[in-house]
Amino acid sequence: MYLNSDMYTVNQLNTQMNNMISKKDYKQMKSVANNHDTYLFLRNLSSKDKVYDTSDFQGGSNENVYYVTVVNNKNLDVYMRKAGMASWEIKHVGKQSMS
C-alpha cells in the first residue's frame, strides 16, 4: 500500500529535491527548471537548504502529479512523472510568482 500512497510520492519528491540541492547538481537543476528565473533560484540555494511543508497531491493523473513545496521561504510548483512501476521522478519545477 505504501508504494501507491501519496506519502511515498512526497517522500520521493523531498529526497530528489534535497539531493539535487545538496549536491549542487546544476545539470539537473537546469533540466527540471521551467524557466531561467527558477534555475537561478535553485542554483543560488545553499547546499544546506532543504525542502519542507510539501503539500498533499494537488492534481494530475496516474502518470503525472503536481505538488507544492517550500525552500528558502519560496513556494515551488513541482511536477512529478511516473518513471517505473513504483518510482517517480521530477519532471519540472517552477518558482511561484508573488501575487
CA angle 36, 79, 51 (to 5 degrees): 80
How many residues are recorded in the chain? Answer: 99
DSSP 96: P
Chain segment 50-68, per-residue pLDDT in tens:
999 999 999 998 889 999 9
Phi, psi of 90 (to 5 degrees): -70, 125
pLDDT of residue 4: 56
Domain 2-95 listed as CATH 3.20.20.30: no
pLDDT of residue 6: 79
DSSP 72: T
pLDDT of residue 5: 67
Give average pLDDT by consecutive 10-residue segment, the chain, 99 residues. 70 98 99 98 98 95 94 97 92 87
